[in-house]
Amino acid sequence: MAKYSNVVRFRVKQDCGAELETAFRDCPLFDGMLGQSLIKTDQRQYCAIGFWDSEDALVSARPAMIAFLDSIRDLLEEISPELGVTDAFSGPVLLRISQHNTVSGSG
């Protein structure tokens, strides 16, 4: 089970959604990343969720994640002057509830 997760919200520029989705599909997992989901929450808004071995793995992957962001930055719209083009959060995974009512977690 993933021990750490990050969530990033962003908004794509008009007519850039397909290109953004391809970039995520083609991006290999970063070292220490167990998996990733890309969710389309609105016509042009997305949320990416990463699952990690540990907080240290996420921290170590930040330079590679920033490089990936730089490669897609021109596809994204500014959310606000304070946030820029992403709204990111991260923290420990406390629970994972599966389809079969199995609950696992650290607390």
Query: Which tens digits make up the pLDDT trace of 30-55?
Result: 999 999 999 999 999 999 999 999 99
CA distance linking residue 90 with residue 57, whole number of Å: 12
Average per-residue pLDDT in the chain? 93
Where residue 61 sits, what CATH number does that domain have?
A: 3.30.70.100
CA distances from 46 to 17, 18, 49, 59, 73 (A): 9, 12, 10, 22, 14
Structural domain range at position 23: 4-105
Confidence check: pLDDT of 71 > 80: yes
CA distance linking residue 19 with residue 44, whole number of Å: 12
As for how many domains the chain has, the answer is 1
